[in-house]
Amino acid sequence: MAVVCPRQNAGTDVGPASVAPPVSEGPDRSQEPDREALDAYSAVVTRVAAQVLPSVASLAVRTARGLAGGSASVISADGVLLTSAHVVAGASAAQAAFADGTQVSAAVVGRDPLSDLAVLRADGPVPAPVALGDAAALRVGQLVVAVGNPLGLAGSVTAGIVSGLGRSLPTSAGRVVDEVIQTDAALNPGNSGGVLADAAGRMVGVNTAVAGIGVGLAVPVNATTRGIIATLLAHGRVRRAWIGIVGRQAPLPPTLAAKLGRQTGLHVADVVAGSPAAIAGLHPGDVVVAVDGASVTRTTQIQRLMVEGAIGSRIEITVWRGGALVDVVAEPRELTGV
């Protein structure tokens, strides 16, 4: 009996099954946007560090309480340094050391505890000054770079963003610094007096405090700051006016709120005995709604008006008292003992 074998088709490979070579998909580019963003971020931070670091000094300060330290920055070609007032409190001079090895003595020209700013003048050559910017142009979320000497580590650089604007910083003098910059750039003891710079390498703030983990504060560099610096250089201190009230923001009665078109005023909690406010007839319980016709809702708004020119001048204060608006006139005196 014949056995019939099935025919194989011509050209068919009956050996082991072959495996097709893998298809090349090229390099994985899915992470490139992230890498490019990181590279751009690094490029900005390294550029700002290179611009600013040479102008930032480590300060060594000796006071009656012992040695202290902080940071300062060169702000003019003739050797003016800017730092925080609390860094040089109780000192008449400091030693400044720069990244290039330059070391100079610097005399304290003036301090202003109410803005937490101080200026010094070096007694020898110093590196080129840092460019001054304007904090008024900052936006929340903007990149900033902090340069200083935290924990004794000279020439440290950290970066972050502007986390908030318009913060208030209480000072040891019992007042507040207004319009303070909040950042998440890491700040530590020793950073005080250092530079907070924008992406162009311009100084937009003076690092001053750590309010908590991830919360650093800087005094803004703006038109007000420049005026304070000029006054400190010319006179060694800043003269301010004072009227002597303690207040807090409080809701207005509905009828008054409807009349003024706003919901809050400044409730007077206390009046300092013998102060201009007491002499003018202000009382605890009054609600200040305006000073010289300008609306008032916070103590910082009155504080802004208490400049040197207000000393001895007559100002009209409008208060809500006993269901009626009452005008009183006060003459601010010079604030002393700070």
Active site residues: 86, 116, 192
Rounded Cα distance between 47 and 50, Å, is: 5
Question: Residue 290's closest CA among 335, 237, 252, 338?
Answer: 252
Rounded Cα distance between 299 and 307, Å, is: 14
Question: Residue 155's closest CA among 201, 199, 99, 207?
Answer: 99
**Residues 249 and 289 sit within 8 Å (Cβ to Cβ):** no
Question: Residue 94's closest CA among 131, 122, 54, 135?
Answer: 122
Rounded Cα distance between 147 and 330, Å, is: 44
Task: Tell me the CA distances in angstroms from 99 to 168, 207, 300, one per residue in order.
Answer: 32, 19, 39
22 Cβ contact list (under 8 Å, min separation 6): none
Residue 56 phi, psi dihedral angles, 5° rounding: -105, 130
Residues β-bridged to residue 108 = 120
Rounded Cα distance between 204 and 222, Å, is: 8
Beta-strand pair 117-122/103-112: antiparallel
Token representation of residue 252: 């207005």
Residues β-bridged to residue 249 = 266
